[in-house]
Structure 1
Amino acid sequence: MKLREIMKFKSTIYASFLFLTTLFTSTQSLSAFDYDFGCSDYGTPYDEAKWSLTLNGGVSPSWFQRKGRALYFNYSGDDLFAIPTTHKTPRFSKAFDLPWNLGIEFGYMYCDRLELFADFNYTQAGGRHHSYKTSDVSLASKEKIGHYRAYDFYLGTRYYLFPVFSNLTPFFGGKVGLVTRDKIRGSTRTVVADTSGVGHKHTHFRSDTTISGGLHAGVNWDLSANLSVTLKAEAIWSGDWRPTVDREEGSSTSVVETPVSLPIIVHGKTGPILSVPVTLGIRYAF
């Protein structure tokens, strides 16, 4: 992987480094007091069952962290493109509805405080309508963005603190993995003065797979030694989403062959994407 590609994921690298540093520092501090970090025979109710299965679901607010500028070209009719107007890439919340997610997690208690886990998640959000404003008052263009769908897989670790009020067990942890995002298609309709308008379809974002990771914290409400209700909040960073470029956008439309001036839109970059999933789940230990 080239240095430039690595730098795309620096937010994820920073977060993972912070978590590992915090965990290492805590280990060293507790070791100085001869404390058996994470592997005592008391303190949490998770020392009998080694394996666990968790089903969870919730919402996942998301943000584009460094929005680029999109270029908006109008075909002039003389086989030339006019000087483009520009606008910022719309916020995630303007392009998509609030994402919801479903997940499944498999855990293994290394000891009564430290858990290793693998989790799989599916996230979806409906696309929204977005209007492009240009200096040409005779031209209006609206885009309907397709659904957002993402699939991710993570490996991580979690540390359980002392129970509170007997049956509430706080925890914190971190994870790193991969996220695959589906291609996003857009449908644009351009209306010129005194015409009924012309529509065309194009690709807004390409499908891609990128590194992802972050931190989480939450609490288990222990109903019994084997069954818990889990409330968790996370901060997850993933790499830039690849937008389409003008060459691909032009080849996917019929702009040049159409007598009505249709726009070619070169979509701007998103920068790293920050998601903050908040989920509620059921954990069964066996």
Structure 2
Amino acid sequence: MESDFKRILVVGLGLMGGSFAKAIRYAVPAIKMDGLDLDCKSVEAAKALGVIDAGFCQTQEEKYDLIVLATPLGAYSTIINQLIPWMSEGALVTDLGSVKGRVHREVEPLLPDFVSFLGGHPMCGAEFNGFSASRTDLFDGKVFFLTGQTNSAIVKAYIRILQAIDVQIVKTSPAEHDTMVAKTSHMPHLSAVLLSSLLESAETCKNYIGEGFRDSTRIAAGDPRVWRDIFLYNAPAILEDLEVFQNKLNHLKDCLKSENGTEILETLAISKGIQEGIKE
């Protein structure tokens, strides 16, 4: 396919940004695409593979009509302020971040009137970090949330690119998005982190670690900077779920203390039924 964008910029060439750039390059080979990352080695690697046409480790005097943010959420405001001179008239700024409400509230007031913002969040990832972990197929068939106004011509042009990389587009509100992903993404990661922290060290417990522990804690190996910002940016929704989670933990503790096997069995059966529904 041909792109409606003259030139696009991917900011952050780690796992998500690198994979997004690779997917676009594969689906739209002729597109003009540059990359910006503080890690010059990632920039050089992306250039060497032909993923990007040009790459930078610091700001340059260029103009882009599509800018994709793929950095930790806490860096967005600083990046936006630095990139305003890079934005063409009518440009679109979007992102790949895991929280949408606070991002919309922080980013939109910073943008010039001639630039629009569209929230984006692909439901994919891995426990590995950096451009070396990025891959072309990371987004294949995955749900890709869009938040904000989606009726403008430039957003429709971006949606055509997303369709070309074979994602399932779901349009929603920032509030609904954050409420749901707190349960399905952020709480699971938090649980994995806390489970991992039960071990004094991997070495002392190595012989006791089986597939169950590995499966339950694998995602805790994600980039700490990325997840720190996710937890802070979606704190209201996560705190609500933590309250519910704490109540469930307290109930289970009471069942264990009183040896209430009936309640424990019911809890296990309910969770099993939910898992079977997810797999269908």
TM-score, normalization by structure 2: 0.25
Structure number with higher helix proportion: 2
